[in-house]
Amino acid sequence: MKTVITIVGQDRVGIIAMISNILAENNINILNINQNILEGFFNMVMLVNMSQAIISLKDLGQLLGEKGTAMGLDIKVQHEDIFNVMHRV
Amino acid sequence: MFTMKDVNETNRMIEENKLDIRTITMGISLRDCGHPDTKIFCQNIYDKITRTAEKLVKTGEDIEAEYGIPIINKRISVTPIAIAAESCHTDSYVAVAQALDAAAKEVGVNFIGGFTALVQKGYTNGDRILISSIPEALAVTERVCSSVNLGSTKAGINMDCVREMGEIIKLTAERTKDRDALGCAKLVVFANVPEDNPFMAGAFHGVGEPEVTIHVGVSGPGVVKRALEDVRGRDFSTVAETIKRTAFKITRVGQLVAQEASRRLGYPFGIIDLSLAPTPAVGDSVAHILEEMGLESCGAPGTTAALALLNDAVKKGGLMASSHVGGLSGAFIPVSEDAGMIAAIECGSLSLEKLEAMTCVCSVGLDMIAIPGDTSAATISAIIADEAAIGMINNKTTAVRIIPVPGKAVGDTVEFGGLLGYSPILPVSKFKSDDFIARGGRIPAPVRSLTN
């Protein structure tokens, strides 16, 4: 199952490190990272594979959501299908 | 593979433009629950609903968390109680409404629809008992919604029921006057009612529906408004195309949620209702879409044309995105639930008469309209008759959800709270229709050719 992680917030050191550590700890493989800085704002979309994950999508969303809030970031974790159905026919 | 732009567009729709799944509604047949003893019948329906819908709310919450799309309501519709309860030896279905209410509370849904009678051609005994039970049923329950279909293109209009419903609405208002006649917000009178509508208060599980089915209602007026901001000043072909594209995207998400809910709950998918359903929240208004097309305020000349285009383009875009479309599908114009409509009433651009014209081209009818508490039952019946006639002649669904608020007059405001919103009291014509309504009988079904 592929999952999309979106991170938006004030740029700082260690955002990608924090996220990728949590993903590695939960056996989640990163497939694609698209990241840029827009007017000082960190903006990243990650595509990950959760088929071997040891955490559920819902729990990952909650975990990253809490970590994100602590770092001043808005982090969303969503099943990729919501984007597929809306943008691909 | 989608792009970063696609991801951001979807999330902007959800976060800024209030795209949401308005409801997952589980339709449950109660046709196998009949029993002469009302107590046993009530136990049967309570058991069946709580057993069937046990996982509905949890499943909705799981899908919401995994896809990151808000699912605002989880609801249940049931077989019209006038049919399901007809074999009970009783003269009141209030206890049945209480059983529905208890079942809704047990499974955690916020509304249960189906305290319903279909009387477009006439009453059965069960229909009479149900309709006479409505005022008390809506007063003593919290989550039960009621509807009555009293006209159709094929059957004409049951004017006896039109007369009775004016009185029932007045009685319901009186019985719930301590809550600003909230009972009337849970009561809809229809012509050409769809039997698979997932939206309240008019939802019920039609007799042609399967045992259990999952319907989904999508929404997103804010998304359409935002899309139209990018084509300001362009011609109407561009406006229609933009609405179609947006409706397509919204409906695809609804289809995804419906399929997932159906799979996880193990019941067949019914229909997607691709309605633009406003809420009182800022940025979630159908009136603001009409104004974005170039009207100074909703209700200005041109409003009916704008709404006609919107309603049609929403259907066209949505139809391509879903395997099964049904319900009401189009644009709702509930006054108290739409910040733009409320503002239009307050500034004087929108009247009851203009709303009636708009119902000729919207997806439903006169919806959530607060009127003076001293409006007579006959006048309310006459408003219902007009609306039913529009539906009958134009082969469309029309409805009336009107609230005569006891003790309030033009200049007052009524607050229903939550999604039901608030509204100024609208003025109603002072000219009487009493003798017209007193006639009773049936208005015959219309001819379907020579349609000038």
Give residue-wise pLDDT tens across range B8-35: 899 989 988 888 999 999 999 999 999 9
Distance from CA of B20 to the nearest CA of A (A): 12
pLDDT at B378: 98
- B235 CB within 8 Å of a chain A CB: no
- Checking if the pLDDT of A3 tops 90, the result is yes
Distance separating alpha carbons of residues B138 and B216, to the nearest angstrom: 25
Q: What residues form DSSP beta bridges with B216?
A: B24, B272
H or E segment to which residue B377 belongs? helix B377-394
pLDDT of B287 higher than 80 = yes
CB-count burial class (<10 Å; 0-12, 13-18, 19+) for B376? middle
d(C-alpha B203, C-alpha B188), whole Å: 10
Q: What is the mean pLDDT of residues A36-61?
A: 92
Query: CB contacts < 8 Å between A and B, how many?
Result: 59
The pTM is what?
0.94
Q: Which residues of A touch B62 (CB under 8 A)?
A: 58
Our CA-based measurement puts residue B9 at a distance from the nearest CA of chain A, in whole angstroms, of 9
Segment B285-302 shows an average pLDDT of 97
Q: Do B67 and A77 touch (CB under 8 A)?
A: no
Is the model's pLDDT at B418 over the cut of 90?
no
- The full set of domains in chain A, from first to last, is 2-86 (3.30.70.260)
Q: Complex ipTM, two decimals?
A: 0.88
Report the pLDDT value the prediction gives residue B419, as an integer from 0 to 100: 80
Out of B7-16, B94-103, B266-275, B350-359, pick the least confident: B7-16
pLDDT category at B267 given cuts 50, 70, 90 is very high
Report the distance separating Cα B254 and Cα B76, nearest Å: 17
pLDDT score at B261: 96
Query: DSSP of B291-348, one letter per residue?
Result: HHTT-SSTTSTTHHHHHHHHHHHHHHHHHHH-S-B-SS-SB--BSTT-HHHHHHHHHT
Percent of chain B with pLDDT over 90: 90
For residue B451, the model assigns a pLDDT of: 77
* Range B63-90 average pLDDT: 96
Nearest CA in chain B to A65: B65
Which of A57-66, B274-283, B330-339 shows the lowest per-residue confidence on average (mean pLDDT)? B274-283
B119-164 pLDDT tens trace: 999 999 999 999 999 999 999 999 999 999 999 999 999 999 999 9
Give the β-pairing of B212-218 and B187-191: unpaired
Residues of chain A with Cβ-Cβ distance to B67 below 8 Å are 78-79, 81-82
For CA atoms B243, B302, B403, B134, the dihedral sign is negative
Buried b (16+ CB within 10 A) or exposed e, A61-81: bebbeeebeeeebebbbbbbb
DSSP helix, strand, coil percent of chain A (3-state; round to 5): 35, 40, 25
Give the residue-averaged pLDDT of B264-288.
Answer: 92
B302 pLDDT band, cuts 50/70/90, is very high
Q: What is the pLDDT of residues B190-248, one digit of tens each?
A: 999 999 999 999 999 999 999 999 999 998 899 999 999 999 999 999 999 999 999 99
- CA B369 – CA B402 distance, rounded (Å): 5
Residue range B64-93: average pLDDT?
Answer: 96
Nearest to B10 among A32, A47, A83 (CB): A83
The answer to whether B244 contacts chain A (CB < 8 Å) is no
8 Å CB contact of B68 and A76:
yes
* Average model confidence (pLDDT) across chain B: 95
Instruction: Provide the 8-state DSSP code for B279.
Output: -
Chain A nearest CA to B253, separation (Å): 6
CB-nearest to B7 from A45, A61, A81 is A45
**Residue showing tokens 């229709």:** B433
pLDDT of residue A50: 95
- How close does chain B come to A79, measured CA to CA in Å? 5
- For chain A, the distance separating the N- and C-terminal CA atoms, rounded to the nearest angstrom, is 19
pLDDT for A19 equals: 94
B256 touches chain A (CB under 8 A): yes
Q: Do B253 and A85 touch (CB under 8 A)?
A: yes
pLDDT bracket for residue B449 (50, 70, 90)? confident
Q: Amino acid identity of B55? A: K
| Per-residue tokens: B410 | 């033009």
Judge: B11–A57 Cβ closer than 8 Å, yes or no: no
What are the distances in angstroms from CA B39 to CA B97, B158, B417? Answer: 12, 32, 34
- Mutation test of the interface with chain B: which of A59, A80, A85, choosing the one with the most B Cβ atoms within 10 A? A85
Specify the DSSP element, H or E, that contains B145: strand B144-149
Helix, strand, coil shares of chain B, percent, nearest 5, are: 45, 20, 35
User: Rounded to the nearest 10 degrees, how much is the dihedral formed by the CA atoms of B92, B81, B331, B308?
Assistant: -90
